[in-house]
């Protein structure tokens, strides 16, 4: 294990937070024993934190293609790199074939049933039941071909939305270094594929720093597998009741300000990379269940030393709850 190791996201992601990570981390409590990213996406916040002893880290996302890719990056790195070498896309036709694979319109070869047939012939009934559980579980995870197809489509699509082919030269092999460094950084990370509510409840501890980057309000269609109005309410409710420190990224709009009126709200502006208007900005909120100002003051020096390609928006507290719901976290006072 390489202590202090950080990594960049191995693939681009719509709404990814790589350029905003210093702003977000500037209000994190120091040295939380457990860090959980419940809407993992490209994992930019988790990967950007230096690896350290004594901290349990969890990457969770409800998109099974994402969690499968991260499992393959971490556990089957050589096989994934080898598989990516067989995906030199040169046409939109090839891109559409990969889309069909991801949408399950074309099924990849699956040897689970043949393996089970042999196991049933040579094992006892009780032994077969145990083996069947393992094989069927393994068929849905660590799928290298599916991971390679997902990665290639993401890299080749417009704005990483995996919908339309981007007419730009892309050499998949040039991203191999990103994948290998990410594999090292993920060495001790727990990777789960859960609904956000299940993930939060599974990590419901006073020692947990929960970070949530849900689909933004009225931008839900940009994300798979979608996010309903009820989900926004459900997220707020479970975050209000859970233990530990909570940090949430959202777009700044009246609905979110009202929904999270029982939390601290900090506003900042960033460049709007998806706008075609020069100098366009996008308004964001960082939402916490604790007063973020002491954390920000402690991190002032780091906060002002941004790398050239990082955003450096100024955080402004725009709302303080009358009755804060913070629960003290041991080791983070």
CB 5 within 8 A of CB 51: yes
Nearest to 190 by CA among 40, 9, 332: 40
Instruction: Let me know if residue 162 belongs to a domain.
Output: yes
Instruction: Let me know if residue 324 belongs to a domain.
Output: no
pLDDT of residue 134: 65
* Total domains present in the chain: 2
Question: The sheet that has 208-212: what strands, in order across it?
Answer: 189-192, 56-60, 34-37, 208-212, 245-251, 281-288, 264-271, 316-319
Do 210 and 266 fall into the same domain? yes
User: Could you give the CA distance from residue 284 to residue 42 in angstroms, rounded to a whole number?
Assistant: 19
Q: What is the CATH number of the domain that holds 261?
A: 3.40.50.150
Name the DSSP class of 189. Answer: E
Cα distances from 107 to residues 102, 104, 145, in angstroms, run 9, 6, 11
Q: Would the CA dihedral through 136, 140, 144, 146 be positive or negative?
A: positive
Instruction: Let me know if residue 77 belongs to a domain.
Output: no
Do 123 and 267 fall into the same domain? no
Phi, psi for residue 250 in degrees, rounded to 5: -150, 165
Domain termination residue (choose one: 175, 205, 223): 175
User: Could you give the CA distance from residue 282 to residue 269 in angstroms, rounded to a whole number?
Assistant: 6
One pLDDT digit (tens) per residue for the chain, 333 residues? 557 889 999 988 777 788 899 999 999 998 899 999 999 999 999 999 999 988 999 999 999 999 999 999 888 877 787 788 744 445 565 556 455 544 544 444 555 677 678 778 878 888 778 777 666 655 555 588 889 888 888 776 654 444 444 445 555 556 777 888 898 899 899 999 999 999 999 999 999 999 999 999 998 887 777 899 999 999 999 999 999 999 999 999 999 999 999 999 999 998 766 556 666 788 999 999 999 999 888 775 554 444 444 445 689 999 999 888 865 444 444
Do 285 and 203 fall into the same domain? yes
Residues 22-44 as b or e (16 or more Cβ within 10 Å = b):
bbbbbbbbeebbbbbbbbbbbbb
CB 22 within 8 A of CB 303: yes
Instruction: Let me know if residue 182 belongs to a domain.
Output: no
pLDDT of residue 139: 52
Do 170 and 107 fall into the same domain? yes
Note the pTM of the prediction, 2 decimals.
Answer: 0.77
Instruction: Let me know if residue 327 belongs to a domain.
Output: no
Burial level of 4, CB count in 10 A (0-12/13-18/19+)?
exposed
User: Could you give the CA distance from residue 12 to residue 42 in angstroms, rounded to a whole number?
Assistant: 7
Domain termination residue (choose one: 123, 141, 175): 175
Q: Would the CA dihedral through 261, 262, 267, 272 be positive or negative?
A: negative
pLDDT of residue 303: 47
Domain termination residue (choose one: 114, 148, 175): 175
User: Could you give the CA distance from residue 304 to residue 22 in angstroms, rounded to a whole number?
Assistant: 9
Query: Where in the sequence is the domain holding 310, given as residue range(s)?
Result: 18-63+193-319
Do 105 and 159 fall into the same domain? yes
Do 287 and 206 fall into the same domain? yes
Instruction: Let me know if residue 8 belongs to a domain.
Output: no
Beta strand pairing call for 281-288 and 264-271: antiparallel
Nearest to 38 by CA among 9, 7, 11, 63: 63
Cα distances from 212 to residues 164, 282, 284, in angstroms, run 28, 19, 14
């Amino acid at each position: 294990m390489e202590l202090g190791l950080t990594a960049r996201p191995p693939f681009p992601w719509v709404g990814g937070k790589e350029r905003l990570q210093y702003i977000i981390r500037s209000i994190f409590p120091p040295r939380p024993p457990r860090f959980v990213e419940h809407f993992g996406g490209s994992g930019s916040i988790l990967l950007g934190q230096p690896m350290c002893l004594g901290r349990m880290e969890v990457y969770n996302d409800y998109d099974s293609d994402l969690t499968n890719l991260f499992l393959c990056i971490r556990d089957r790195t050589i096989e994934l790199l080898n598989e990516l070498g067989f995906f030199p896309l040169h046409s939109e036709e090839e891109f559409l074939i990969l889309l069909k694979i991801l949408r399950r319109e074309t099924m990849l070869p699956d040897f689970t049933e043949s393996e089970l047939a042999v196991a049933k012939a040579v094992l006892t009934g009780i032994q077969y039941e145990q083996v069947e559980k393992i094989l069927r579980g393994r068929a849905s995870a660590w799928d290298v071909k599916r991971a390679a197809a997902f990665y290639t489509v993401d890299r080749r699509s417009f704005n990483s939305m995996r919908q339309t082919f981007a007419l730009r030269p892309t050499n998949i092999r040039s991203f191999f270094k990103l994948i290998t460094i990410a594999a090292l950084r993920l060495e001790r990370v727990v990777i789960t594929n859960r609904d956000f509510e299940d993930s939060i409840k599974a990590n419901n501890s006073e020692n947990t720093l929960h970070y949530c980057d849900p689909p933004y309000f009225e931008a839900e269609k940009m994300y798979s597998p979608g996010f309903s109005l009820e989900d926004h309410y459900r997220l707020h409710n479970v975050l209000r009741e859970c233990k530990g420190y909570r940090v949430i990224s959202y777009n700044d709009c009246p609905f979110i300000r009202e929904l999270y009126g029982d939390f601290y709200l900090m506003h900042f502006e960033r460049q709007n990379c998806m706008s075609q208007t020069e100098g366009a900005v996008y308004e964001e909120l960082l939402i916490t269940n604790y007063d973020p100002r002491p954390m920000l003051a402690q991190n002032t020096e780091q906060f002002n030393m941004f790398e050239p390609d990082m955003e450096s928006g100024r955080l402004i507290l725009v709302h303080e709850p009358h009755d804060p719901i913070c629960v003290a976290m041991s080791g983070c006072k």
